[in-house]
Amino acid sequence: MTGAEENEKVEPETILALKDVAIFQKESLILNDVTLDVKKGEFVYLIGKTGSGKSSFMKTLYGDLPLRQGEGSIVDFDLKKLKEKDIPYLRRKLGVVFQDFKLLPDRTINNNMRFVLKATGWTDKIKMDAQIADVLEKVGMKTTGFKFPHELSGGEQQRIAIARALLNNPELIIADEPTGNLDPQTSVEVMKVLQEINKEGRTILMATHDYALILKFPSKTLKCDGNKVFEVVQRAV
């Protein structure tokens, strides 16, 4: 067997695996008996009504909520054994995109980016500037580095937030309702950016309640409902 044939048979690497997981918010049980896995390069939606546990699920993945029951690994970190001091290292391997952008209003886009790079251990100014230019170009925002967040539209700010999530070349992007504050046309534009990033081989897990987007860009879909998370088989519409 040639090397190329062997490569074809290799199973995609698992980026996220949960087994018999229960997710708590303080003492309240939010989700129970969660077993799933996400492979490298997948684009996965997480859907469910408000209050169904999507945000608690996401917070557990990036270390905001501790995993107290079950087994979980994400980008080679054991969520059950995750210590406070490990969380910054976990987050370097994740890119997190929030609904409300979370850009620092008092500094330019370039300085927002530099702030993240410095906080995650970058020191070489030339390398930092090159990385910032690269991620801004990826999201079609190359000329906006000197602007402040308030000078950009909501869709542009979300593109910047996606660029920021790419700064450390993450293995997995967790996007929590990234189009929640955007109008339908802008939502589609932001989705196209995420789709392009996914085509480059980046794994994306996106929580959304926008079913129109899922119909337009169908992909593997997990649903939070009745304290469970399960895969939904999409019907042709």
pLDDT exceeds cutoff 80 at 9: no
Mean of the pLDDT values across residues 72-83? 94
pLDDT exceeds cutoff 60 at 212: yes
* 3-class SS of residue 147: coil
Let me know how long the chain is: 237
- Which amino acid does the sequence have at 162? I
pLDDT of residue 235: 58
Average pLDDT, the chain: 91
Is pLDDT larger for residue 91 or for residue 135? 135
Distances (CA, A) of 70 to 67, 84, 159: 8, 19, 35
Q: Which domains does the chain have, with CATH numbers?
A: 13-93+172-183+195-232 (3.40.50.300), 103-169 (no CATH)
Distances (CA, A) of 81 to 67, 73, 161, 210: 8, 10, 29, 34
Per-state percent for the chain, helix, strand, coil, to nearest 5: 40, 25, 35
Is pLDDT larger for residue 99 or for residue 75? 75
Region of poorest pLDDT, from 4-8, 26-30, 170-174: 4-8
Walk across the sheet containing 94-97 and list its strands: 94-97, 172-176, 203-207, 43-47, 220-225, 228-232
Percent of the chain at pLDDT exceeding 70? 95
Q: What are the residues whose beta carbons fall under 8 Å from the beta carbon of 30, sequence distance 6 or more?
A: 23, 24, 53, 56, 57, 227
Backbone dihedral angles phi then psi of residue 216, each to the nearest 5 degrees: -75, -35
- Which amino acid does the sequence have at 43? F
pLDDT exceeds cutoff 70 at 5: no
- Which amino acid does the sequence have at 186? T
pLDDT of residue 237: 40
Q: Pairing state of beta strands 94-97 and 28-39?
A: unpaired
> What's the pLDDT tens digit per position in 137-193?
999 999 999 999 999 999 999 999 999 999 999 999 999 999 988 999 999 999 999
pLDDT of residue 100: 83
Rg (CA), the chain: 18
Region of poorest pLDDT, from 51-55, 201-205, 217-221: 51-55
pLDDT of residue 108: 97
pLDDT exceeds cutoff 60 at 203: yes
In the DSSP assignment, the letter for residue 3 is: H
Q: Where would I find the beta strands (DSSP E) of the chain?
A: 14-25, 28-39, 43-47, 69-74, 77-78, 94-97, 172-176, 203-207, 220-225, 228-232
